[in-house]
Amino acid sequence: MNKIDIIGAPTTYGQPKLGVNLGPEAIRYAGLVKRIQNLGLEVEDRGNIDVPRIDLERFHGPQEGLRNYDEIMTVSKNLSEAVSTSVARNHFPLVIGGDHSLAIGSITGVSQHYENLGVIWYDAHGDLNIPEESPSGNVHGMPLRVLAGEGDEGLVQLGGFAPKVKPENIVLIGMRDLDEGEKQYIKKHHIQTYTMADIDRYGIQHVIEETINYLKDKTDGIHLSLDVDGLDPVETPRTGTRVLGGLTYRESHFALELLHESQMITSMDVV
């Protein structure tokens, strides 16, 4: 594997709860660098991207349209540049967050270097909403739709191109809380989707092996976006969007082992 670049994205702007921005430091304090080194891999911690300071009054106050839009644009641009630099060095960018809106920046940065990027979205949610279908205006529920070329035009055109990923190059794993609009979008675009019912029925090994086979001949790189709410709340009790009936720690660990063995994952974020 190429050298791993750890890139922190301490953003909480895509959702309404404070504390998510502390994630990168918490993961570092838990010994991330040492754990990676113990696997015999070369790693460099490149620190955190610049993130706008939180204005508490504005953060908690009423906002029109997409919440914290300017801040999210800034974070997305900064993260895109950091990730693109890592890929250009032939390194493996590992982005630690931070809420899931950061994927707009991370995947934009990666996709600049691939013709047919694939995305594995390991999550309880599809994150495929658009502003018109989101009363909350929380962008953490929209990043994958933005990356597929729909939604707010400013976010969609980040980096000067769209889409960053084709719908047919997306695989959703762990789904158990999809909005009606998301279900319709998935059906319309025939997005490869594995719900928790599918995982219960076929097992995580079958799901991951099928995912690898589905993507291997149509993509030239694969980004793994792992949201800890994909796991059951028993495993990740402090996630802000808990949904019962999720993946176990062991299932997720095995899934990552299988993906590593495939040697197809070229970048990753953890949110």
- Residue 109's contacts (CB-CB under 8 Å, 6 or more residues apart) are 79, 80, 81, 82, 83, 84, 85, 86, 87, 93, 159
Per-residue pLDDT, 109:
99
Per-residue pLDDT, 163:
99
**Residue 152 is labelled as binding a ligand:** no
Burial class, 31, CB count within 10 angstroms (exposed 0-12 / middle 13-18 / buried 19+): exposed
DSSP output for 37-91: HTTT--EEEEEEPP-PPP-HHHHHS--SSSTTHHHHHHHHHHHHHHHHHHHHTT-
Nearest to 24 by CA among 95, 79, 104, 106: 95
Q: List, for residues 52-104, the tens digit of each pLDDT value.
A: 999 887 887 778 789 999 999 999 999 999 999 999 999 999 999 999 999 99
For the domain that residue 120 is a member of, what is the CATH number?
3.40.800.10
Per-residue pLDDT, 169:
99
Structure tokens at 142: 């929209």
Indicate the number of domains in the chain. 1
Per-residue pLDDT, 269:
99
Q: Kindly give the parts of the chain with pLDDT less than 50.
A: none
φ, ψ of residue 215 in degrees (nearest 5):
-95, -20
**Residue 269 is labelled as binding a ligand:** no
For residue 124, give the 3-state DSSP assignment: coil
Neighbours of 165 (CB within 10 A): 24
Per-residue pLDDT, 1:
63
**Residue 198 is labelled as binding a ligand:** no
Cα–Cα dist 262/256, whole Å: 10
Cα–Cα dist 135/146, whole Å: 17
Question: Cβ(18)–Cβ(54) under 8 Å?
Answer: yes
Per-residue pLDDT, 121:
99
Domain range for 143 is 4-270
**Residue 253 is labelled as binding a ligand:** no
Per-residue pLDDT, 77:
99
pTM above the 0.85 mark?
yes
